[in-house]
């Protein structure tokens, strides 16, 4: 495995803070004096980033499951009304995160997450509604696939909220998805089959005031149509397949959130 990542989850940051004071435990208030950021804040931001990553990935999965509708000749995605998409997204997100988007006050969801998740749902819905004005090239499958959905949603979401989201992998098809050094280190962890499933890697950079989360993605059966075997064979979008197997890590969603002090 390559160089160890500066993994700074809230818990580890706490340990770092303890070490820095010569073993004397520091409370959140004391830590705040150094960095301007409390542990509570970091825990909340981490929780928020994780929910956003699961929500974007849930949207990708809903697109994946409805791929046939987006591939139909003529206008793309006409058979998937935005309301139906949103219902499927809500169901998928609830089953994966345990959070009900229609009842956000029921669970322990940070206030920041509530606002951002509503915006992410609105943006996802907008992208799905918008694609219906696009026409598929005649005789060819549609261009609207999970990664394109993810790109469009992430771009619009960043424009509206300042929170950055990106789909990345070690050997990307699209250079725009190439990992930076932090993302690369996390992806190397995720690629190890013994790495715990769905365990994100978080990092706080107190100086620049940002929190980063890398959330691993895994292949479902339908991803394998394009990313599966045989390796090197061209998929229907014209890219060589990666030779991935069912359930294997397929990259990550990277989330970058400014920390409000
Ligand atoms: C119809 C074929 C197709 C399917 C199905 C598909 N992908 Fe992709 N995937 C692509 C293409 C094409 C790109 C590059 C898109 C672009 O140009 O940005 C891509 C990009 C990605 C990326 C971003 C990194 C990169 O290589 O640029 C990830 C991560 C990814 N796919 C994972 C998945 C996962 C996980 C699934 C299943 C949920 C999936 N894909 C389903 C074709 C597909």
Tens digits of residue pLDDT in 233-261? 999 889 999 999 999 999 999 999 998 76
* Token pair recorded at residue 94: 């609830």
Nearest CA to ligand 1 atom 20: 147
CB atoms within 10 A of CB 252: 27
Atom number, ligand 1, closest to the C-alpha of residue 222? 5
* Token pair recorded at residue 158: 């960043």
4-33 per-residue burial string, b: 16 or more CB within 10 A, e: under 16: ebeebbbeebbeebeeeeeeeebeeeebbe
Residue 206 CA to its chain's centroid (Å): 22
> Do the beta carbons of residue 235 and residue 228 sit within 8 Å?
no
pLDDT of residue 12: 42
Answer yes or no: is the C-beta of 142 below 6 A from any ligand 1 atom. no
Average pLDDT over the chain reads 85
Determine which of 21-25, 38-42, 57-61, 117-121 has the lowest per-residue pLDDT on average: 21-25
Q: Angle at Cα 188 formed by Cα 181 and Cα 213, nearest 5°? A: 60
Answer yes or no: is the C-beta of 241 below 6 A from any ligand 1 atom. no
Nearest CA to ligand 1 atom 10: 147
Distance CA 226, CA 206 (A): 40
Category of 36 on φ-ψ map: left (φ > 0), alpha (ψ -120 to 50) or beta: left
**Mean pLDDT confidence for 82-104:** 96
**Mean pLDDT confidence for 16-24:** 33
pLDDT of residue 34: 57
Q: What percent of the chain has pLDDT over 90?
A: 67
Nearest CA to ligand 1 atom 12: 237
**pLDDT, tens digit, 9 for 90 and up, residues 143-154:** 899 999 999 999
CA of 6 to the centre of ligand 1 (A): 28
Answer yes or no: is the C-beta of 177 below 6 A from any ligand 1 atom. yes
Answer yes or no: is the C-beta of 116 below 6 A from any ligand 1 atom. no
Answer yes or no: is the C-beta of 100 below 6 A from any ligand 1 atom. no
Backbone angles phi, psi at 53, to 5 degrees: -65, -45
Give Dmax (Cα) for the chain: 69
* Alpha carbons within 13 A on the beta-carbon side of 31: 23
pLDDT of residue 252: 98
* Token pair recorded at residue 248: 């294997």
Distance CA 18, CA 52 (A): 30
CB atoms within 10 A of CB 255: 27
Nearest CA to ligand 1 atom 15: 147
CA of 181 to the centre of ligand 1 (A): 21
pLDDT of residue 59: 97
**pLDDT, tens digit, 9 for 90 and up, residues 165-220:** 999 999 999 999 999 999 999 999 999 999 999 999 999 887 788 999 999 999 99
Answer yes or no: is the C-beta of 217 below 6 A from any ligand 1 atom. yes
């Amino acid at each position: 495995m390559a160089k160890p990542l500066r993994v700074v989850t809230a818990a580890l940051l706490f340990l770092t803070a303890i070490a820095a004071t010569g073993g004397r435990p520091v409370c959140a208030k004391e830590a705040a004096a150094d960095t301007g950021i409390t542990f509570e804040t970091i825990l909340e931001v981490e929780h928020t980033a994780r929910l956003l990553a699961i929500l974007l990935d849930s949207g990708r999965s809903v697109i994946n499951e409805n791929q046939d509708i987006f591939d139909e000749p003529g206008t793309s995605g006409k058979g998937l009304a935005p309301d139906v998409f949103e219902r499927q997204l809500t169901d998928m997100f609830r089953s994966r995160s345990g959070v009900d988007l229609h009842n956000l006050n029921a669970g322990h969801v940070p206030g920041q997450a509530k606002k951002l998740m509503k915006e992410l749902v609105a943006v996802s819905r907008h992208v799905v509604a918008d694609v219906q004005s696009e026409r598929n090239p005649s005789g060819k499958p549609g261009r609207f696939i999970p990664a394109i959905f993810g790109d469009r949603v992430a771009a619009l979401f960043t424009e509206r909220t300042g929170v950055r989201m990106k789909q990345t992998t070690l050997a990307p098809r699209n250079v725009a998805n190439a990992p930076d050094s932090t993302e690369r280190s996390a992806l190397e962890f995720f690629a190890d089959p013994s790495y715990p499933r769905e365990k994100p890697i978080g990092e706080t950079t107190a100086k620049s005031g940002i929190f980063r989360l890398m959330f691993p993605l895994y292949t479902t059966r339908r991803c394998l149509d394009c990313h599966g075997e045989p390796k090197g064979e061209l998929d229907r979008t014209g890219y060589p397949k990666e030779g991935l197997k069912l359930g294997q890590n397929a990259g990550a969603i990277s989330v970058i959130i400014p920390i409000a002090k």
